[in-house]
Chains A and B, each alone.
Chain A
């Protein structure tokens, strides 16, 4: 094994003896003491105590000597930290400085050195672990000498801290077991190591401020004197100003580089970015950051990006729009250093069209050459609808289509945001908390890009944590916030919730009578979802309820809403039979041509957490069923403006009484309904009611059987009990439920076609009506006890066939 060079070892030895941070603090204190001593010596001299003043000055000189030693040692360390190993030690090509620091300890075991090194401690602390404690435990448990064993390995195989951490996990089973006990694995350790390395390398560089790359970032005077003013552009737009490091960790770096290549052309240096607004703005900001850092094409150096705000432009009616656009373009060309970005190019093109002009004819001579550099931003649907048909315009622009980065590409960008947030607020994020932010942003806030959603979640979370005076942000703190915000249980299953989940069948069957099979199916699917096997990019649960009318499908949805979200009004209901015409899709998601917002988009945006009930799903238009193919699969759809609508925090229940005839037949034959599920589904497919790909996308198809006499009695009893409770609590009247009454309501209030659905109405028209009449007539008062008894003579005016008895 190649060992570390001696001078590097010395730097680490110094660091272990007296850490750089501590030395920096000493420097500050010594400076204060020396300053005070100098002032004091002047006073002593002034008051005639010259002898003591000289002694004090002697002390000051010695303190200065001490200060010098500390300052030089600080420079020594900062110099090495900033330069790292690169270029200085060809024997260790590509090995990062922090890898060297991590293994440079005095112990013979790399693992113990890693755990005790400052960087190892920070990495473990980011994972919520105390690495010193871990080192102690491992040394103590090290009976098989696994930890101290010298393993032959070359240092240069570790290019970064993540490589080393992952290798250590593999090489030392005791270590991987200890880490696994905290629910962590190689992915988290590697991720946390990469995060720490990214932040520390940057911090090391900044501390060695005298290096050219940092001095070069300070903007020069008078650079703008050479360029023209942009008064009009600044009136209708805004300058994109970002920090120079904005471009480095951006997940949009490749797209930004592609954009730079286009803007660097000698002619037609214009681009249209197609994608969602947040991603597009992020790319423009990445470009601005890279221009500021001076790492892009020389032709783009010193350029300023001015983002023209179409809304502001169109709101100003004082000037004709074509003239205004021409003035703006002329100003940009005259200024000489402007990259003109338009926040909504299709809107501007459409408005110019309405004003009898076109962007291509107005600006073609500018766009064809290099005089004007333009970036147009647009979403995909507007691009196809408005821009693509204009061939002349499209000739002058290159198109870049932007896909949002996934969770993996997001971590570096978000970790930058988290570091900035930590510096501002004093919070401390664990790596798992950051992971939880990304995971849950996808699940609960999925309307923009993942980056924007994560940043939004981070913002909201910060306020929540500061209000509660929480300093260390753990995964649990993030999940608590999500729980509080959405009322959806996330994270580990807690005791109370565990009981609720295990007793879900009981909870549901208290309200839904006679559907044990259906309840078992729903409860099982929900438990599976909650056990963590759930896919975060799909809705909470998706069910197709099949069965005749009035057997408890809607009641199950309501009960589910109460069980999942603690309230029945979390149920969002859409009667899908109203969406059977050709224009249904436009009504649901909104129409681009009429500008009408969609019913479904609006409903879900207003109520992102709950149970979406789609009644009579079989009656909906095939186009709408296609929309739900995507929703059931991906948990979102795009509305008319191309904005994503997120349904990942909803449970979706589609009900249908298609196939009810089959269910009746099966029950009539006395066969087991559960065993016939496949037969029913096959029939629905063969009848062309549902397509197989749609049925396959539901988590479960739940069959509801027709209700028999015993079930109807139970339902009647349940409904009457509710009325009895209402009477007792509001009027103080005791209502005795007699078996005769229950029997009558069950028999007369239900029918084969509508099941138990008419029962509630029957109770209202008979039982409740008779009680109300009795109260108005003064026959029933507070404290009365009432019951229904058989009539001695049947009467046509009394459909219940019972009379009211008051005691």
Chain B
């Protein structure tokens, strides 16, 4: 039984399994990019915060017009600041995710060696 399973497993580990581990790394990065909505935040960086804002008054009323302009600009600024904050946090997490994805792939490839290392190391500690 083991004779049948072990070679099949090792073949899988270094072919489909490794591809899956790499795909997981890719999925993780893609997920973080999606989770922090980075594309959307960049696209709407200067959009008013939660679509809040005022409509410009009709007719020639420069005072009211400037008032609205200030309010709307403020809303856009507030939106941009909050979005930038999340973009920075997202990018930092994304970087960490990238490192993690790389580590996962390397560990996956080294797993059989790690396994032998654990076994031999453990045995050595017990008998020494």
Question: Footprint of B on A, CB under 8 Å?
Answer: 6-7, 10, 13-14, 17, 54-55, 57-65, 68-69, 72-73, 75-76, 79, 210-212, 215-216, 218, 220-229, 334-336
Known: A220-B37, A221-B35, A227-B51. A68 touches B115 (CB 8 A): yes
Per the 8 Å Cβ criterion, residues 77-111 of B in contact with A are 79, 82-83, 86, 111
Known: A60-B122, A61-B122. A334 touches B37 (CB 8 A): no
**What 1/0 flags go to B3-26 for Cβ under 8 Å of A?**
011001101110011001001100
**4 more A-B contacts (CB under 8 A) besides A7-B12, A10-B5?**
A58-B124, A215-B30, A229-B50, A229-B52
Question: B27 to A211, Cβ gap below 8 A?
Answer: yes
Q: Which 5 A-B pairs have the closest CB atoms?
A: A58-B125, A61-B122, A228-B51, A62-B122, A58-B126
**Which residues on A sit within 8 Å (CB–CB) of B30?**
212, 215
19 interchain pairs, CB-CB under 8 A: A7-B8, A10-B4, A10-B8, A10-B9, A57-B125, A58-B125, A58-B126, A61-B122, A62-B126, A68-B118, A76-B17, A79-B16, A210-B20, A216-B34, A220-B35, A222-B86, A226-B40, A229-B50, A229-B51
Question: A221 to B9, Cβ gap below 8 A?
Answer: no
Which of B4, B5, B34, B47 meets A226, CB within 8 Å? B47
Question: A72 to B9, Cβ gap below 8 A?
Answer: yes
Question: A59 to B122, Cβ gap below 8 A?
Answer: yes
Does B41 make an interface contact (CB < 8 A)?
A: yes
**What 1/0 flags go to B32-49 for Cβ under 8 Å of A?**
001111001100100101
The B contact surface, by secondary structure, is helix
Question: A227 to B119, Cβ gap below 8 A?
Answer: no
Question: A221 to B36, Cβ gap below 8 A?
Answer: yes
Question: A76 to B9, Cβ gap below 8 A?
Answer: yes
Question: A64 to B8, Cβ gap below 8 A?
Answer: no
Q: How far is the CA of A468 from the CA of B84 in the complex (A)?
A: 59
Q: How far is the CA of A162 from the CA of B69 in the complex (A)?
A: 67
Does B57 make an interface contact (CB < 8 A)?
A: no
**Which residues on A sit within 8 Å (CB–CB) of B24?**
210
Does B114 make an interface contact (CB < 8 A)?
A: yes
Q: How far is the CA of A229 from the CA of B50 in the complex (A)?
A: 7
Output the least CB separation between A372 and chain B (Å).
Answer: 15
Known: A55-B125, A62-B118, A62-B119. A225 touches B31 (CB 8 A): no
Question: A221 to B86, Cβ gap below 8 A?
Answer: yes
Output the least CB separation between B15 and chain A (Å).
Answer: 10
Question: A218 to B35, Cβ gap below 8 A?
Answer: yes
Output the least CB separation between B113 and chain A (Å).
Answer: 12
**Which residues on B sit within 8 Å (CB–CB) of A13?**
1, 4-5
Output the least CB separation between B40 and chain A (Å).
Answer: 6
Q: How far is the CA of A336 from the CA of B47 in the complex (A)?
A: 13
Q: How far is the CA of A256 from the CA of B12 in the complex (A)?
A: 42
Output the least CB separation between A245 and chain B (Å).
Answer: 19
Does B59 make an interface contact (CB < 8 A)?
A: no
**Which residues on B sit within 8 Å (CB–CB) of A64?**
118, 122
Question: A61 to B125, Cβ gap below 8 A?
Answer: yes
Known: A75-B17, A222-B83, A228-B51. A58 touches B4 (CB 8 A): no
Q: How far is the CA of A6 from the CA of B8 in the complex (A)?
A: 9
- Chain B residue at minimum C-beta to C-beta distance from A229: B50
Does B60 make an interface contact (CB < 8 A)?
A: no
Q: How far is the CA of A239 from the CA of B27 in the complex (A)?
A: 31
Q: How far is the CA of A222 from the CA of B79 in the complex (A)?
A: 11
Output the least CB separation between A159 and chain B (Å).
Answer: 24
Question: A222 to B41, Cβ gap below 8 A?
Answer: yes
Q: How far is the CA of A225 from the CA of B36 in the complex (A)?
A: 12
Does B121 make an interface contact (CB < 8 A)?
A: yes
Question: B123 to A58, Cβ gap below 8 A?
Answer: yes
Question: B37 to A221, Cβ gap below 8 A?
Answer: yes
Looking at B4, B35, B36, B125, which has the most chain A CB atoms within 10 Å of its CB? B125
Q: How far is the CA of A224 from the CA of B122 in the complex (A)?
A: 52
Question: A218 to B31, Cβ gap below 8 A?
Answer: yes
Q: How far is the CA of A76 from the CA of B8 in the complex (A)?
A: 10
Question: B118 to A65, Cβ gap below 8 A?
Answer: yes
Q: How far is the CA of A65 from the CA of B117 in the complex (A)?
A: 9
